[in-house]
Amino acid sequence: MTITVLVPGEDGVRALSELIEVEPVVYTPGEPLPPEAAKAEVLIPGAHPAGTRAGLLEQLPNLKLIQLLSAGAEQWVGLVPEGVLLSTCRGAHGGSTAEWVVAVLLSMHRELGSFAADHAAGRWHRRGTDTLQDKRVLIVGAGDLGNQLRRRLEPFDTVVTMVGMRARDDIRSVDELPGLLRDQDVVVLVVPLTSRTPGMVDAAFLARMADGAVLVNAARGPIVDTGALVAELNSGRLSAALDVTDPEPLPPEHPLWTAPNLLLTPHVAGTVRDAARRSYAVAAAEIARYAGGELPNNLVHGEY
């Protein structure tokens, strides 16, 4: 039996074309669905505004699996009908996002922004900087991205500690987090946005961080209390690198635009050349498992 998969573009058709008994059908988000939607078992969502997602799912009576192209599932959790599986694209963007974390840490410690300003001003100002070597780095989140990041940081002679939901092997428990913060030079957030994580990094969390430490958010904006972070940045006690913010995108005049000690990028850590190909490679593997009668590896289980 052929499984019909709705895909939001020709990239999806190419990615699934070699799968046996899978028929990819292109649809355009925001436009009427093709007739094949009535029998579609799998949906790969495109860019759907928040208010349109539930209505889309109501038009898919035979839906069994929603296969995302993102590692985060927060936009779809709570909308998925009972009995429908939800699978993420975990593994597709971990490498590029980990690379972004390394890039911003190197930029901040080696003061590349300051040297770029000197270049623009035609100023030769030779000086020493800090270094990433020997820095103690706490990675909050022990999934694919956390492990990809650890693998990239340790060759810089950093001392890496990882925190997950539960202690296992060389991973510390989230319950230990308050006691770990004071001894870290860098704290990197790579946890998903779930029912447990909004506001996780609040004023108390930030107050426990060591003077001069760097907070890096490569996760989701709402995980950090923006007001509390702005206060710490303005005081000069902490520095930060943010690829995500709350709100997002930042409105004009938001205090983060002018906050000192901040390196800010517009949610681009995973936006790299070939990102779509990597996403569809993971999606195709997940759909192949489903078509073969197996559960996808990246299922979202229970309370997300």
Q: What are the catalytic residues?
A: 220, 248, 267
Residue pair 282/90 in contact by the 8 Å Cβ criterion: yes
Calpha distance 76→140 (Å, rounded): 24
DSSP 126: -
Helix (H) or strand (E) segment spanning residue 173: strand 171-173
For 270, the token pair is 């995973």
- The per-residue b/e assignment along 146-177, b for 16 or more CB within 10 angstroms, e otherwise, is bbbbbebbeebebebbbbbeeeeeebbebeeb
Residue that has been written with the tokens 């080696």 in this structure: 110
Instruction: Assess whether the previous peptide bond of 247 is cis (omega < 30° from 0).
Output: yes
Calpha distance 254→252 (Å, rounded): 6
